Amino acid sequence: MHWIAGVFGRRKEFSLGLYGPPNSGKTTLANRISVDWTGEPVGIVSEIPHETRQVQKKEKIQLSVNGKKLVMNLLDMPGIATKVDYREFLPFGIEVKQAQQRAKEATKGIIEAIKWLENVNVALVVLDSTEDPYTQVNLTIIGNLEARKIPILIVANKVDSKKAKPDRVKSAFSQYQVIEVSALKGDNIHKLYKAIGDVV
């Protein structure tokens, strides 16, 4: 049926959700994807956890992958965590009151990200390959996406780091397609686009 869509110029539309724990590089990846296809970034990146506290969207991104013409709604989700401690923000030079406000917003962001689990068509689970992948949050996110039959691609991010161990991610989630990327440097990003094109 794709050739019919191609002939008539109609593009298949889907929503791509970026899920994962805080600081795994979701916004860096969302920016990389968005800049590649639209020339504009989605959001602000920082080393402070929970920088993204609301779902950030870039809608109607037109892309062509694997000969398919697609329209993608890119959804950069707040990082999902089981705890949000305002004291974690203090070493970054944030005042106590601001840190408490940030924690409040982060908790709301997590609730929002969980609500959106039902509304994405394809999920990228973005993991920091320098960290232990075998955490309950990662398993919970993947388990819930799986239960909803949402296609999942695991992104082993930050492979440009010397500490990266993408094989650990592959071994933890061997039943899924794992794509090793550096969202920061753009390494392997085309493999990711190809994989997205394959599952849509």
Chain contacts with another protein (rule: CB under 8 A): 80-87, 100, 103, 107-108, 110-111, 114, 117, 134-137, 139-140, 143-144, 146-147
**Shortest Cβ distance from residue 134 to another protein (Å)?**
6
| Closest distance to another protein from the beta carbon of 90 (Å) | 12
Q: Minimum distance between the CB of residue 85 and another protein, rounded to whole angstroms? A: 4
Query: Buried b vs exposed e over 128-147: b needs ≥16 C-beta within 10 Å?
Result: bbbbebeeebbeebbebbee
Compare residues 86 and 176 and give the one whose CB is closer to another protein: 86
Q: What's the token pair of residue 75?
A: 């959804």
Smallest distance from another protein to CB 140, Å:
4
Indicate the residue among 21 and 25 with the shorter CB distance to another protein: 21
Please tell me the distance from the alpha carbon of residue 121 to that of residue 83, in angstroms, as a whole number: 27
Residue 33 or 103 having the CB closest to another protein: 103
Q: Quote the radius of gyration of the chain (alpha carbons, Å).
A: 17
Distance CA 55, CA 65 (A): 25
Sheet architecture: strand order including 152-157: 56-65, 68-76, 12-19, 122-128, 152-157, 178-180
**Comparison of 59 and 167: residue with beta carbon closer to another protein:** 167
